Structure 1
Amino acid sequence: MNFTQRTRGMVKMIAVVLSLALPLMLAISAADARVGGGSNSGSRGGRTFSAPPSTSTAPNAAQPMNRTMTQPGSPGMGTAAAGGAAKGGFFNRPGMGMLGGLAAGFLGAGLLGMLFGGGLFSGLGGMASIFGLILQIGLIIIVVRLAMKWWQRRNAPASAYAGPAPGAGPTAGAGPLASFRSGSGFGLGSGSAPLEIGPSDYEAFERLLGDVQAAWSNEDIAKLHTLASPEMVSYFTQDLQANNARGVVNKVSDVKLQQGDLAEAWREGDTDYASVAMRFGLVDKTIDRASGRLVEGSDQPTEATEVWTFVRPRGANWELSAIQQA
């Protein structure tokens, strides 16, 4: 009898720990090292759920968004105030309401059931309760994985992954812009006008690549607000907070564009968009905030290929609105 009571006490303690730790683990898993590393975040206006065309810099299909405020079928960016993005995390991702609620229901029913003596096999004693808890956690993981795969398939139409960038031409110019291919994209629909991307635009894209990484390394949220959309800044803030909770800081340096080309450029109303594939070198390392000890990465340069989407309201400057892994 005493053994059973002790076992139940241990099970309840495990349930409490898991109920507190699981949401934290899900939140931390969304954070990566460099800006946009491993994630696909932001909005591309009406093309948010269509992958940018492949280019010579990024011949592989860009991955679909897993963090975005834009709802399927809705026009515009979905750049709500930064406070609204604080709802991030798996269970509150846009479009995941039903699936997130299902997973949360499993989590609540399973863990709280174990806390109050319920759950699977509750009438068979303490050891059976442990197996019931393990089984419930396994079911949650399976449901979440299936839901995420279904969501990615749903929002990655095959037609979006075919063909080279429209209007992509030969390498233009010399110097730092020589790695960019010139080109222009044409918006779809009767109200869309051609959007030409020129040398000054490419200069802005390359400058933003370095400036965003520098502001991220310095944890300078105020500077990021001048370089990126409110939606992207909200994601950067979440990721920086996750790093702070871990007691680490990510430092990115020596960012050098090696090759880049235009995937597509278009206009929606008074807003311009340009998705640019960029392959760049950088030194990416994560260090312990207190001791300065290297935690992840190294002092050796690495290489990354990503598709950055920039947005420009009429009369304003370009700013970052999305990052996708290529």
Structure 2
Amino acid sequence: MLTSTTRRKRTATILALAAALTVAAPVVEARPGGGGSAGSRGSRTFNAPSATTTAPGAAAPIQRSQTQPGPGMSNPGMQAPAQGRRFGGGFMAGLLGAGLLGALIGGGFFGGLGGIASFLGLILQVGLLVLLVSFAVRWFRRRQGQPAGAGAPYARTGLDNGPGAPNQGLGNAGPGLGASGPGASGPGASGLGGMMGGGAQRPVQQRQIQIGPNDFQSFERLLGEVQDAYSHEDKVGLRNLATPEMAGYFEEELQANAARGIVNRISNVKLLQGDLSEAWGEGSSEYATVAMRYALNDVKLDRNTNRVVETEPAEATELWTFVRQPGRPWILSAIQQTS
């Protein structure tokens, strides 16, 4: 028979293993944006971009943004339904960890736990711990996902209620950029802006803008420059190429890489195909969402030895949104993954 002290130590070890399995971070791809969808598209942030030839499927909703949805409007990109699946997976992982640890220590899954009553008690304790840890993790993630505050650059209240601009004259848009896809002039979903002093809700005013070959050349150049700055962990360069919001997300990813002792090296970025999804103006800002399929060499290296730790897919298709102010160049405002 095991002593009570030994049993407590074994139980504590099992519970610690279950907790570690529960809170393990999900694996994401490398590249700027971490293979997720983040940033701001002005009043269209929570609207799906129009489909194009390059990206005919639905775009992943934006999961992180400083843009606030309009009053009474849903915010599908911030609901993160996958958390429920992570909870279920974490709970089963905790049970599996308990079984494996019991088998390693001796006596199999049931042995050494003081009979069926002790086993059921242990399962109950593991379940309660997993619930508490899951709730705590979700609470902290919600806290971290809250907007950084009103007045963030390019953040706007409300949802789209205007048509996108047609893509005209793009036959000579650049090496990898062809004519627009079927969604280049599709209308956005209607929405409402903020309320002013309890008065009527007012829609965000939008206007059409023209996107030409020079703009597409800027988008292609930014694709390579952002990847290069990210690869060299050039935070100053990223702040010059992207909005403060996106630059902040990139810096978080770079800090996470440093904490893991790895560096993400990206090279040979080449645009294979690209076309315009939407282009519009609101206020003094002009926006353009572009679907881009590109090739790249993307690896993660150990910081100390330069040993290859991970190799990522050699091709990616993403929707990048760019924004510019009068007299200023285009900069990156959002990245969305495709289905």
TM (norm. structure 2) is 0.66
Alignment of 1:148-297 (within 5 A): 167-168=166-167, 171-173=170-172, 175-176=174-175, 178-179=177-178, 181=180, 191-297=205-311
Compared with structure 1, are the counterparts of its residues 311 and 223 closer, same or farther at alpha carbon in structure 2 (3 Å cutoff)?
A: same
CA RMSD in angstroms, aligned pairs only:
3.9
Is residue 2:128 matched to residue 1:136?
yes
Mapped to 2, the partners of 1:277 and 1:35 lie a distance apart of: 16
Match for residue 80 of structure 1?
Answer: none
Match for residue 6 of structure 2?
Answer: 6
1:25-68 CA-partner distances (Å, limit 9, x unpaired): 33xx3753111242111111111111101000100010001222
Match for residue 309 of structure 1?
Answer: 321
> Percent of aligned positions with the same letter in both sequences?
43
Mapped to 1, the partners of 2:316 and 2:233 lie a distance apart of: 21
Q: How far did residue 168 of structure 1 move?
A: 3.9
TM (norm. structure 1) is 0.68
Name whichever structure is richer in helix by fraction.
Answer: 1
Match for residue 45 of structure 2?
Answer: 48
**Counterpart secondary structure, 1:176:** coil
Compared with structure 1, are the counterparts of its residues 283 and 53 closer, same or farther at alpha carbon in structure 2 (3 Å cutoff)?
A: same
Structure 2 unaligned regions, length at least 5: 72-76, 92-115, 140-158, 191-202
Checking the alignment, whether the CA contact within 8 Å between 1:260 and 1:277 is kept in structure 2 is yes
Mapped to 2, the partners of 1:213 and 1:286 lie a distance apart of: 14
1:255-301 CA-partner distances (Å, limit 9, x unpaired): 01111111001112111111100011111111111111111117xx8
Mapped to 2, the partners of 1:71 and 1:42 lie a distance apart of: 12
Compared with structure 1, are the counterparts of its residues 171 and 270 closer, same or farther at alpha carbon in structure 2 (3 Å cutoff)?
A: closer
1:62-102 CA-partner distances (Å, limit 9, x unpaired): 0001222222227xxxxxxxxxxxxxxxxxx9678xx99xx
Compared with structure 1, are the counterparts of its residues 133 and 12 closer, same or farther at alpha carbon in structure 2 (3 Å cutoff)?
A: same
Checking the alignment, whether the CA contact within 8 Å between 2:32 and 2:250 is kept in structure 1 is yes
Compared with structure 1, are the counterparts of its residues 233 and 94 closer, same or farther at alpha carbon in structure 2 (3 Å cutoff)?
A: same
Checking the alignment, whether the CA contact within 8 Å between 1:71 and 1:94 is kept in structure 2 is no
1:104-142 CA-partner distances (Å, limit 9, x unpaired): xxx9xxxxxxxxxxxxxxxx9864443123323665799
Compared with structure 1, are the counterparts of its residues 133 and 213 closer, same or farther at alpha carbon in structure 2 (3 Å cutoff)?
A: farther
Compared with structure 1, are the counterparts of its residues 230 and 95 closer, same or farther at alpha carbon in structure 2 (3 Å cutoff)?
A: farther
Amino acid at match of 2:70: G
Amino acid at match of 1:276: V
Amino acid at match of 1:241: Q
Count of residue pairs the alignment pairs up: 265
**Counterpart secondary structure, 1:49:** coil
Match for residue 116 of structure 1?
Answer: none
**Counterpart secondary structure, 2:43:** helix
Match for residue 115 of structure 1?
Answer: none
Checking the alignment, whether the CA contact within 8 Å between 2:261 and 2:302 is kept in structure 1 is yes
